[in-house]
Chain A
Amino acid sequence: MNEPRTVALNLWSRLISGETLDEVDRQQLADLLQQDSTLRDEIDADATLNALLRFMSDPRQTDEQFVQGVLDQCGAMPPRGLPDVEVNQIERQVPGLSNKSDPLSGVFESVPLNGVQITVASNRQRKQREKHSKRRRRSTWTALTLTAAILTCLSLAFWSLLDKPMPVARTNPTDRVAQEPDKATASIPDDKQKTIAPSSIAPSSIAPGNNAPDRQHDPIVPLNEPPLVEPPPLDLTKQNEGIAQRSDPESLRQFVTLTKIDDPVWQRKSMAGDRLGDEIVRLFAGSVELTFDKGAVVTVDGPIEFRPLSTGKLELRRGRLLASVPQKAVGFTVSTPTSNIVDLGTEFEVAVNEAGESDVQVLKGEVEVAPVTQDEGNIQKWRLLPDNFNRASFFALPQIQGPVPVSASLQGRGGQFQGFVSLNGKTAEFTSPEAFNDVRRRAVTELVRSQENALRQWKEFVDSMQDNMQGTMKLNGQEMQFGSLQDVMRLQNGMLEKVLKSGNNARDSNFSGSININGKVMTFTTREEYEAARRDAFGPAATFGIGDVLGIAPANR
């Protein structure tokens, strides 16, 4: 039989020997490592040894050549200050990594922005690129200037012939920001937001999940910029172009003021007092305070990518922000790829990582949070309070076709935990982070593997959880009682650990006991019989994190 450890080591040795694992194998390896810290350490040590051996045996570049290459590259640059944006945006990420006092630090990595190209190639490549780029810019500008001059002359001649007034600027038909009403803004009209008050807010008054971007099914196309797959090099003219293209009155409306700026590095030249409207903003480093016209004050630190959508709404794509919302601006909403946060008069922090996963922490007051889901009719919402459940995490939506499992967890200051995994309108709830994480990952893995089968199993799993499961389980004389499937998961694992620790190997013939569930009693005297009884008792739930514990030694769990 293939023990999980053997499977993991096999997959690992294939990967490290140069084989590319497919997604299922990669996920399986990641899962196995997640479950077993000893194995993870072992793999980690092996990766280092492999790297040492590769470094030692690599004839390609000597130490001195490497050192010289770096020195050559740095020789042309000054060591301090902000010599060019290309490097500084990274430079500023480093302090974020060690910011241990940050309450959200460690949960989400300080990650670079998606659309930013940071390439540090060899000195020669760099010079060549600069040379090409200069040439290209020069020739582009020459061509543009000539074209503009010709067009202007032609237009003047044409309009003077017609004897008509000059036309006003029209919207570029290809500019979707200007052409279409923004979906996110449209789902919460400004006048509706005004009615939201802390006492009157009801879950139904919150915009449903469709007001936030669903990266999978309704991807946000960066409308004023090239696609993210090939990030554009930094171009200081880009941002202004983006604003200038939009010429309809609504998109030109500016509703945010830069009230404080602290050494920002971004694609614009700004100063305190400048105004922003609906546009994608990327701040690579530094800090900026934005005051929305309705009163919400949002502090953002680079690296971050966000988009103010209206006087009361902001979309956070990546990065971290702190929102302080006075009473007059209650209802201020932050949407992320995986969650919507509606303020109920408060101060809160939101972080979004590269995968779109979001983490919300309320510092003062109250916020309402909801996951982004396709299932609009069945959206769960939670209220976060500083002294109760004060933090919520929303996990990434897997990139698969069909229904997508939505998972979120709530955490309290006192270590309280609640996890939720929803799929196809059915939600499983968890009180232990381990069980939640296990089911969450398995739900995704199973879906990737076999969607149809997984959906059926999921339904059966949740149905079985909803049963009032009463019973006892006995292993080697120790008896436990359970009232839910979660109890079974927790107690079963604990009991098996005890059994294994006491020296009774699970494979030994003295492994015996019984499962009494809702009055039906199953007895077993071997591991195989136990497995059969367990499968019989807990049904398909066994495939979602209940089973397979016997193959793993407690120390490895």
Chain B
Amino acid sequence: MTADSKAIETELAEKARETPREAFEAVLRLYQADIRILTRRHFGNSAEADEVAQEVFVQVYHSMAKFRQEGSLRGWVMAIARNQILLHLRNETRRRRRNGVIIPPEILEIEATTIDVDPFQHQTAEAELHALQDCLNRLGDEPRALVEAFYFLGTSAESLAAQKGKNAGTIRMMLLRIRKQLGKCIRTKLRLENGESHE
């Protein structure tokens, strides 16, 4: 966490005691992207992911006055999110009502200890998204076209495979490699922005 975000958190934590409603709105705006990205890790359906994210913030709203300034505010919000995601995953699994893919907890661990250990070292989502945009622009033509087709145009791996005369598995692995490349680029960018010269 950067010094700036720590200062914001401290201010918000103090505010939470006196004007919880106001503090809540600030927290919501600060972390909405983080939580919506977090829920998208587990829910293949974006509407469902946002529904869970909304539930998370309702919990945050009700608990604002109870936040103690001992840990990080982001960590606290993330813990609530983790709980809500688990709850939703279990309820959905139990009901067998799956809208889109659910990535079960046994595959994608969401333990309290790892929830904050994101690949980008506690940056807020805003910084990550910014870096991602830059990194996408730096991709070569072919990988960028593939990302755009798959994510922005919603073309399935099977359709892309048919278009390119490859099999779907190859396309999925290509996407995996591109994401890896993007992750590396984002990390480098964020480190440079934080003034770190190397790993």
Contacts and interface: CB of A to CB of B under 8 A. Distances in A.
A292 to B, nearest CB: 31
B62 A91 contact: yes
B36 A55 contact: yes
A354 B105 CA distance: 13
Q: Which residue among B86, B107, B118, B120 has the maximum number of chain A CB atoms within 10 Å of its CB?
A: B107
Contact of B106 (A30, A51, A122): A30
B188 interface: no
Contacts of A17: 156-157, 168, 172, 175
Contacts of B101: 15-16, 18-20
Nearest to A61: B50
Interface string A92-105: 01110110000000
Contacts of B114: 44
Nearest to A42: B180
Nearest to A40: B109
Contacts of A77: 58, 61-62
Nearest to B156: A18
A243 interface: no
Contact of B133 (A46, A56, A79): A56
Given A71-B25, A83-B62, A91-B62, A49 B179 contact: yes
Give the size range of A's interface with the partner: 35 or more
Contacts of B59: 87, 90-91, 94
B151 A66 contact: no
A44 B173 contact: no
Contacts, number: 203
Contacts of B118: 48
B54 interface: yes
B182 interface: yes
Nearest to B154: A57
Given A51-B37, A55-B40, A43 B62 contact: no
Contacts of B25: 67, 71
B17 to A, nearest CB: 11
Contacts of A95: 66
Interface string B28-45: 110011001110110010
Interface string B107-145: 111001110001110000100110011000000000000
Interface string B10-25: 0000000000110011
A296 B41 CA distance: 45
B173 A13 contact: yes
A53 interface: yes
B16 to A, nearest CB: 9
Nearest to A32: B107
Nearest to A55: B37
A77 B58 CA distance: 10
A101 to B, nearest CB: 12
A55 B33 CA distance: 8
Nearest to A63: B32
B46 to A, nearest CB: 5
A97 B108 contact: no
A251 interface: no
B95 interface: yes
A70 B58 contact: yes
B74 interface: no
Contact of A88 (B47, B53, B62, B128): B62
11 contacts: A13-B172, A13-B176, A14-B172, A45-B183, A46-B183, A55-B40, A57-B151, A66-B53, A71-B25, A88-B62, A229-B95
Interface of B: 20-21, 24-25, 28-29, 32-33, 36-38, 40-41, 44, 46-47, 50-51, 53-55, 57-59, 61-66, 71, 76, 79-80, 82-84, 86-87, 90-91, 94-95, 98, 100-101, 103-104, 106-109, 112-114, 118-120, 125, 128-129, 132-133, 147, 151-152, 156-157, 168-169, 172-173, 175-176, 179-180, 182-183, 186
Given A52-B125, A98-B112, A109-B86, 8 more contacts: A15-B107, A18-B156, A44-B108, A47-B41, A58-B46, A70-B57, A87-B58, A94-B79
